[in-house]
Structure 1
């Protein structure tokens, strides 16, 4: 139902983002081609994603947040793309498998961010003080807690849009 746009068929406001993404990936990913239907969504997601990449969370911790959302929302393209990103970051296969299968992580610090992400989702942000203290005790900061919320918002938007458009 949704068109897999090219830079020629996409709305004009989506074309620059499509070109930048194609330059970065060597091609236009299917998700970007479909999200291009809405320049606001495509550009908004790409801007938020870039902002999330600049947060103070370590790269693997950011990917844990993304994979929690991707696996929870059953976004196969997101799980695949972020599995690749984790591999590029040097994450081991047991970590990747656990995230894909929504299982506990053996790394205590990464498990803390996984649990915190799930708690933010479960409580719609109304995380109890005890859970926030556990997150902080794992070496994260209050700033990191808000950055997790940013990641949840960014990748919830992406995963839902990818599922809606049937991006593969």
Structure 2
């Protein structure tokens, strides 16, 4: 069976990751899948595919829960997420977090600017977007002027570190979603 699957992967030139169900997933992934299904009414494709690795699935869900408890406001957190998702070209993440932004009451101009990787009209949120990009570009070694610009918009040093947490969580998910071809 494995050699047949390997031949199919070689023929098609793509990796095949299983979209697990509660019945086929590793037992360590099932509780997280059940919680996700209860929250969303179904198991999203990304969760079904990440379930192959209980460590990755559970680690991502734990990290996002921690990120959701940070002192950054919910829309600012979504700016971090959308900045990472668009930069990393994760279409499923962009779609999911577009919906989340809309539920938070974000206007179409903000959502569209994030989706199109354009500057935001709100200076405080634009500072979050620009700081997120600076952290990513410099692998954390952000120039002093970029940090000062972030802090000048009323953000704190704690917020700067929370942006790093969000980048870590959502870099993990965007990379995994792209690897597994989650749709």
The alignment's TM-score, normalised by the length of structure 2, stands at: 0.91
Partner Cα separation in structure 2 for residue 128 and residue 95 of structure 1: 26
Corresponding position: 1:94 with 2:109: yes
Match of 1:10 among 15, 22, 25: 25
- Matched ranges for 1:74-153 at <5 A: 74-153=89-168
Query: Could you list the runs of 5+ residues in structure 2 that have no partner in the other structure?
Result: 1-15
The alignment's TM-score, normalised by the length of structure 1, stands at: 0.99
Cα shift readout 1:10-48 (whole Å, capped 9, x = no counterpart): 000000000000000000000000000000000000000
Structure 1 stretches of at least 4 aligned residues deviating more than 4 Å after TM superposition = none
> Of the two, which has the highest radius of gyration?
2
The corresponding residue for 1:60 is 75
Cα shift readout 1:65-87 (whole Å, capped 9, x = no counterpart): 00000001110100000000000
The corresponding residue for 2:46 is 31
Give, in angstroms, the shift of residue 131 of structure 1: 1.1
CA RMSD of aligned residues (A): 0.4
- Which secondary structure state, in structure 2, belongs to the residue aligned with residue 146 of structure 1? helix
Partner Cα separation in structure 2 for residue 131 and residue 37 of structure 1: 39
Give, in angstroms, the shift of residue 130 of structure 1: 1.4
Cα shift readout 1:89-134 (whole Å, capped 9, x = no counterpart): 0000010000000000010000000000000001100011111111
The corresponding residue for 2:56 is 41
